[in-house]
Amino acid sequence: MTGSPPTALRPQHPSPRSLRGLAEAFGFEVRGRIDELDVTGVAISTGAVHGGDLYVGVPGRNAHGADYAAKAAANGAIALLTDVAGAERAADAGLPILVTPDARAALGEVAAWIHRTAENPAALFGVTGTNGKTSVVYLLYAILRQLGVTAGLTSTAERRIGDEAVTSSLTTPEASELHALLARMREVDVRAVGIEVSAQALSRHRVDGIVFDVVGFTNLSHDHLDDYASMSEYFHAKRELFTPERARRGVVTIESEWGARLVAESRIPVTTLAIGEDAPDAPDAPGAPDAPGAPGAPGADADWRLDVLEEAPTHTAFRLTGPGGRELATRIPLIGRYNAANAALAIVMLVEAGNDLDLIAAAVADHGIDAYIPGRTERVSGTRGPVVYIDYGHTPDAFAHALDAIRRTTDGRVVMVFGADGDRDTTKRAQMGAIAARGADVVVITDFHPRWEDPAAIRAALVEGARAAVPDREIHEIADQRAAFRAALALVGEGDAILYAGPGHEDYQEVAGVKHPYSARDDARLALQEAGWLE
Ligand SMILES: CC(=O)N[C@H]1[C@@H](OP(=O)(O)OP(=O)(O)OC[C@H]2O[C@@H](n3ccc(=O)[nH]c3=O)[C@H](O)[C@@H]2O)O[C@H](CO)[C@@H](O)[C@@H]1O[C@H](C)C(=O)N[C@@H](C)C(=O)N[C@H](CCC(=O)O)C(=O)O
Ligand SMILES: Nc1ncnc2c1ncn2[C@@H]1O[C@H](COP(=O)(O)OP(=O)(O)OP(=O)(O)O)[C@@H](O)[C@H]1O
């Protein structure tokens, strides 16, 4: 096939449904002629419209989607669903209009109806938390495949059905895309799906029309305080997943006060998972696991307990002990106690969904969990020279965990390369700088996605945070990412490690609205070759 790659996975054999039936099922006011019209899909953005779709026009930050109804019609939409204001704006667009007070709030159920996603559903696993969602979803996917289950996933990195994958734009797709994806998955007999659920998705109705079988919570720490006024508001957005309207059962990692709070405030039955001793030093407030009010030894009376048995640059081995002393011991090809925690959460979620622990243990007995997580402390170096990890961490807590994991498995020096997102939560930058300075021997501050911000100002905030925390730390400020990585590489040798946090799986850098091609993974491999460390 030529042309642009598909941006979404949709059913290939949709079964048309009557638009009149839709309007009646939801009690929508109808403006225009809709009899004889059948709908085969639904889209919230004109770029995603396929022939036969219902286009849903919602108000946004920049525009009202209804203003694009004519464009949707040109792309093949057969009708518009919108609010009263939208209906007036689109009166001359040439499409019949269904009117509802809040079209975004209706979207999930409408998409579920059009795609019949409630019929013969796969087991649905939802994962939320500040860090680790993508990782848990990939670990679920890997274990399910080892159990012989046809699985799918949706994450920040990609939407995936077996070997078919598309790159993601949002962490959690809009409900229109999500239900289409589930319908496509049903066509190819996917029986279990891991879905990463961001706080924004819960606040913006993106997982409406779904009841998860099991939901999991990783942790909560400082992020997205540009979107939420406080950590409590951010927590409340995530807590929404632990309600009977959204899920049947939950598993909560009790690593911090937030996990304990979620257990206390959950409105669905929850199972708890405690992490053994030796968590890394947590960042300071806000959102610190050891913030005031945290209960004593977290997880002392949890249902499940994780103990890390071995940490190496290539793998982590752990034991999981559950109710009645049931045990599973295995390994993951990933570094870090936090990744063992992610794997443990995935396993307990599978058990809560009815999978037998012994069967899971048998499936992962030979080689451990066979997971590949793109751009999450991904080792790009070879057998010689420094160990180089490319990571997606972009929060203080992620920095702390990744640095801790690398420090534990590195005899030599640790150099950290990183930048910070422009046009995103600016309040975490000083802390990111501070944690890097505390955890690494040398810090190289570079640009990430400046977007519309002045990149020099972003770097300055990071440098200031680093200097304030460790005044004599060796700090380099190098705007160009390729040059920054090469400068880091020049500082290390056999036995040392580089953590390049930020770019992860991404293949671009966004500057002033333009996406420039840049893959940190590819460039790091190239630099390693240039330095003679990699064939
Ligand atoms: C701030 C925010 O939530 N923006 C979302 C919003 O865009 P917007 O309000 O800017 O939209 P707009 O430009 O005003 O347009 C209004 C409507 O007209 C439509 N439109 C507009 C122009 C056009 O030509 N055709 C068209 O159809 C748009 O699709 C939209 O529905 O509606 C769009 C689709 O309806 C979303 O894709 C978009 O998410 C943007 C990309 C985003 O960045 N969201 C962030 C906050 C987010 O959700 N992030 C989390 C990250 C979680 C994590 O880090 O863990 C996530 O889940 O991804
Ligand atoms: N359980 C965890 N606790 C703390 N940090 C973690 C954990 N798991 C992963 N991380 C760190 O967070 C980074 C992002 O991991 P991951 O992509 O799995 O999280 P996420 O919640 O999906 O974030 P995003 O939605 O932004 O992708 C990792 O690269 C790693 O540095």
The CA distance from 61 to 411, in Å, is 50
The alpha carbon of 97 and the centre of ligand 1 are apart by a number of angstroms equal to 22
The CA distance from 315 to 99, in Å, is 55
The alpha carbon of 41 and the centre of ligand 2 are apart by a number of angstroms equal to 33
Ligand nearest to the Cα of 48, by number: 1
Interface confidence (ipTM) of the complex: 0.93
- In this prediction, residue 222 carries a pLDDT of 82
Instruction: Return binding residues.
Output: 46, 129-135, 171-172, 198, 206
* Cβ < 6 A, ligand 1 pocket: 44-46, 58, 60-63, 65, 68, 170-172, 174, 198, 200-201
- In this prediction, residue 221 carries a pLDDT of 85
Q: Are 346 and 133 in contact (CB under 8 A)?
A: no
The alpha carbon of 378 and the centre of ligand 2 are apart by a number of angstroms equal to 12
Taking alpha carbons only, the member of 524, 522, 473, 495 closest to residue 406 is 495
User: 141: Cβ–Cβ under 8 A, 6 or more apart, which residues?
Assistant: 151, 152, 153, 160, 194, 371
* Cβ < 6 A, ligand 2 pocket: 129, 131-135, 156, 171, 196, 218-219, 338, 341-342, 376-377, 391-393, 397-398, 401-402
For a substitution probing ligand 2, which of 339, 342, 392 has the most ligand atoms within 8 Å of its CB?
392
The alpha carbon of 43 and the centre of ligand 1 are apart by a number of angstroms equal to 13
For a substitution probing ligand 2, which of 131, 139, 169 has the most ligand atoms within 8 Å of its CB?
131
The alpha carbon of 33 and the centre of ligand 1 are apart by a number of angstroms equal to 30
- In this prediction, residue 296 carries a pLDDT of 39
Low-confidence ranges of the chain (pLDDT < 70): 1-7, 278-300
The alpha carbon of 134 and the centre of ligand 2 are apart by a number of angstroms equal to 7
Which protein residue has the closest C-alpha to ligand 1 atom 10? 61
Bond preceding residue 6 cis, omega within 30 of 0:
no
Residue with tokens 């920040």: 156
Closest atom of ligand 2 relative to the 138 alpha carbon: 18
Instruction: Return binding residues for ATP.
Output: 129-135
- In this prediction, residue 188 carries a pLDDT of 93
For a substitution probing ligand 1, which of 56, 68, 174 has the most ligand atoms within 8 Å of its CB?
68
Q: Are 528 and 534 in contact (CB under 8 A)?
A: yes
Q: What are phi and psi of 163, to 5 degrees?
A: -90, 0
Angle at 234 between CA 228 and CA 240, to 5 degrees: 125
Q: How far is CA 184 from CA 9, 110, 190, 258, 283, in A?
A: 7, 17, 9, 36, 42
For CATH 3.40.1390.10, the residue range(s) in the chain are 17-115
The alpha carbon of 135 and the centre of ligand 2 are apart by a number of angstroms equal to 7
DSSP class per residue in 136-191: HHHHHHHHHHHTT--EEEE-SSEEEETTEEEE-SSSS--HHHHHHHHHHHHHTT--
For CATH 3.40.1190.10, the residue range(s) in the chain are 123-277+296-363
Which protein residue has the closest C-alpha to ligand 2 atom 18? 132
- In this prediction, residue 2 carries a pLDDT of 31
Domain 123-277+296-363, CATH among 3.30.70.600, 3.40.50.720, 3.40.1190.10, 3.40.50.2300:
3.40.1190.10
Using DSSP bridges, classify how beta strands 316-321 and 327-332 pair: parallel, antiparallel or unpaired: antiparallel
The CA distance from 161 to 192, in Å, is 10
Which amino acid is located at 409 in the chain? T
For a substitution probing ligand 1, which of 54, 171, 200, 227 has the most ligand atoms within 8 Å of its CB?
200
Q: Identify the three-state secondary structure at position 238.
A: helix
> Running DSSP on this structure, what letter comes out for residue 316?
E
The alpha carbon of 174 and the centre of ligand 1 are apart by a number of angstroms equal to 9
CATH dotted code for 378-530:
3.90.190.20
- In this prediction, residue 289 carries a pLDDT of 37
> Running DSSP on this structure, what letter comes out for residue 301?
T
For a substitution probing ligand 1, which of 42, 56, 61, 176 has the most ligand atoms within 8 Å of its CB?
61
Q: Which fold has domain 17-115?
A: 3.40.1390
- In this prediction, residue 299 carries a pLDDT of 52
The alpha carbon of 231 and the centre of ligand 1 are apart by a number of angstroms equal to 23
Q: Is 420 exposed, middle or buried (0-12, 13-18, 19+ CB in 10 A)?
A: buried
Strands (E) across 315-375 are located at: 316-321, 327-332
Closest atom of ligand 2 relative to the 129 alpha carbon: 21
Which amino acid is located at 145 in the chain? R
Q: How far is CA 15 from CA 6, 38, 97, 113, in A?
A: 21, 9, 22, 11
- In this prediction, residue 7 carries a pLDDT of 61
Ligand nearest to the Cα of 60, by number: 1
Which protein residue has the closest C-alpha to ligand 2 atom 8? 132
Q: What are phi and psi of 271, to 5 degrees?
A: -110, 145
Q: How far is CA 121 from CA 77, 242, 343, 382, in A?
A: 27, 20, 24, 43
Ligand nearest to the Cα of 501, by number: 2
Ligand nearest to the Cα of 390, by number: 2
Ligand nearest to the Cα of 80, by number: 1
